[in-house]
Amino acid sequence: MHMINKNQNSEESLLNLIGRKSGLFADDINTTQSELNTIVSSSKFLVLGGAGTIGQAVTKEIFQRQPKKLHIVDISENNLAELVRDIRSSFGYINGDFKTFALDIGAIEYDAFISSDGRYDYVLNLSALKHVRSEEDPFTLMRLIDVNIFNTEKTIQQAINNGVKKYFCVSTDKATDPINMMGASKRIMELFLMQKSKAITISTARFANVAFSDGSLLHSWEQRIKKNQPIVAPNDVKRYFITPKESGQLCLLSCIFGENNNIFFPKMNQNLQLTSFADMAVKYIAMLGYKPYLCKNEDEARAFAKTLPRTGKWPYLLTKSDTTGEKETELFYTQKETLDLNRFNSIGIIKPDLDFNNNGKITSFSNSIKHLKAEKNWTKKDLINIFHKILPNFAHKETGHYLDHKM
C-alpha cells in the first residue's frame, strides 16, 4: 500500500509547499517575546470563534504563554473537543483558568455566559463566515451579515460594558476594495469597529489565505486524498499564503501591541510571494509521495481516482476560475490609507483616517437589515443595494457561477 507522508502539515512542510524557507514573523516574535510573555501571563483572555483554524492558532499562542484566564467560545462542539486534545497533547496544562464553551455568539445562552462573568482584559473575535460561496443564496448571506457585522457589534458593546481593556477582531484582505459580499461585510465591520473605538481600544488584522484552513481549497485536498478522490485547482489564480501558526502570531501581536484602530498586515517582501494553486497542487501530490497525473475533465478524474493511486499516481484536474466574487489580485491596503512600515520588521500597520461621519450610514444600514428581517422576506439584490448605500464604491462582481457548481 502506498504510504502518505505523515508530516505533510508540519510547519516546515507547509512553508515548503507555499514556497518559503522561514516564518514571516519570527523576528518580530523574538524581538517582542519577553514583553509578550509578561503581558499574556498577567492577563485574562476570551477568544470567540476559537475552534476555527485561526482561532486555534491564536489560542495556542496565548496558552503557551501561561495566561491567568483563557476562555474559548465556538459554535462547533467537535472542533472544541479537538482543540483541547491538541493543546493537552502539545502543551499540557497551565495554572490559569482554561475552559471551552460550545455556544452560538448570537444566542441568549452566550449573553447569559457573559452576564455570569464577562471579566476579561482582552477579547479576540475570530468568528466569521468567510466563504465567498456563502453569498449564493440570500438566507446564508443574511447569516453572514449577522455573524460578521452584528455579532461583532454586540460583543464589542458587551466588552465596553464589562470594562475590557482591548478588543481585537480579524478582518481580511478581501475587505480592501471589496468585490464580493463577504469582503464587503468585513469592510462594513471595520466601519462599525471605528465607530465603537471611541469607547474601547480596538485593533484588527488583514491577511491572505491561511494554508489548509478549514473549508479552504488546500484543506479540501486533504479530504480528497483521505477519500481517494481527485484533486482540483484553478489554473489561473495566484494567492499569498500564510501558515496557521503565522496567522495566530499576527493576530496576537495586533491584539497586544496594536494601537486604537490599527490594522496589522504582512509586509510584501521576498519572503511573501504569490503562489499558483496549480503549482501547489503538483507539489502537494509529490509531497505525499505520488506522481501527479493531469486529467482532461471531471469524469476522467473521478474514474482514474479508483485505479491510479494503486500505481503510485494521483489524478488532478485544472480548471478556469470564473466564480462570483473571485478577486484577480490580493491587496492589504488602498492608496488612500496611511501606513506605518517602520514599527515592525515583517508587519505593516494601516492607520485609517477616522471618519465618524459614517454614524448616520451605519444606523441606516442596521435599520434596513432589521426591516428585512422583520418582514422575513428579502433577496440578494435587496442586500446588495443596502451594501451599496454604506459602501458607494462597492464593485460587486457577479458571474452567475459559484464554487458549489464545481467538483
Q: Please check whether residue 301 lies inside any domain of the structure.
A: no
Burial 65-80 (b: 16+ CB within 10 A, else e): bebbbbbbbbbbeebb
| Tens-digit pLDDT profile for residues 270-283 | 678 888 999 999 99
User: What's the pLDDT at 55?
Assistant: 96
Residue 52: domain span: 21-210+241-273+328-402
213 close to 244: Cβ distance less than 8 angstroms: yes
pLDDT of residue 175: 77
Eight-state DSSP code of residue 176: S
Q: For residue 229, tell me if it sits in a domain.
A: no
pLDDT per position as a tens digit, 67-88: 999 999 999 999 999 999 999 9
Examine residue 50 and state whether it is found in any structural domain, yes or no. Answer: yes
Question: 4: which DSSP letter?
Answer: P
Q: pLDDT tens digits for 139-195? A: 999 999 999 999 999 999 999 999 999 999 998 877 788 888 988 999 999 999 999
Q: Which helix (H) or strand (E) holds 68?
A: none
- Please give the Cα distance from 79 to 374 (Å, whole number): 33
Calpha distance 233→218 (Å, rounded): 9
Asked whether the predicted pLDDT for residue 327 surpasses 70, the reply is: no
Report the domain count for the chain.
Answer: 1
pLDDT in tens, 29-45: 999 999 999 999 999 99
Q: pTM for the full model? A: 0.90
Q: What is the mean pLDDT of the chain?
A: 90
In a domain, 312, yes or no: no
User: What is the Cα–Cα distance from 231 to 284, expressed in whole angstroms?
Assistant: 10
Higher pLDDT among residues 119 and 356, named by residue: 119
* Range with the largest mean pLDDT of 12-16, 121-125, 270-274: 121-125
Cα–Cα distance for residue pair 319/406, rounded to 1 Å: 9
pLDDT for res 7: 52
Q: What are phi and psi of 24, to 5 degrees?
A: -65, -40
Q: How much is the average pLDDT of 371-383?
A: 96
Q: What was the pLDDT predicted at 323?
A: 60
Flag whether 359 is in a domain. yes
370 — pLDDT class (breaks 50, 70, 90)? very high
Residue 403 has pLDDT above 70, yes or no: no
pLDDT of residue 11: 87
pLDDT band at 3 (very low <50, low <70, confident <90, very high): very low
Please answer whether residues 170 and 126 qualify as being in contact, where contact means their C-beta atoms are separated by less than 8 angstroms.
Answer: yes
In a domain, 309, yes or no: no
Rounded to an integer, what distance in angstroms lies between the CA atom of residue 261 and that of residue 112? 29
Q: What is the mean pLDDT of residues 321-348?
A: 77
Residue 12 lies in a domain: no
- Give the mean pLDDT of 315-323: 85
Contact call for residues 170 and 152 (beta carbons, < 8 A): no
User: Any idea what the CATH number is for the domain that residue 197 is in?
Assistant: 3.40.50.720
Per-residue pLDDT at 214 exceeds 70: yes
Percent over 90 (pLDDT), the chain: 70
Q: Round to whole Å and give the CA distance between 9 and 18.
A: 12
Query: What is the per-residue pLDDT for 5?
Result: 47
pLDDT value of position 52: 94
Instruction: Give domain status of residue 157, yes or no.
Output: yes
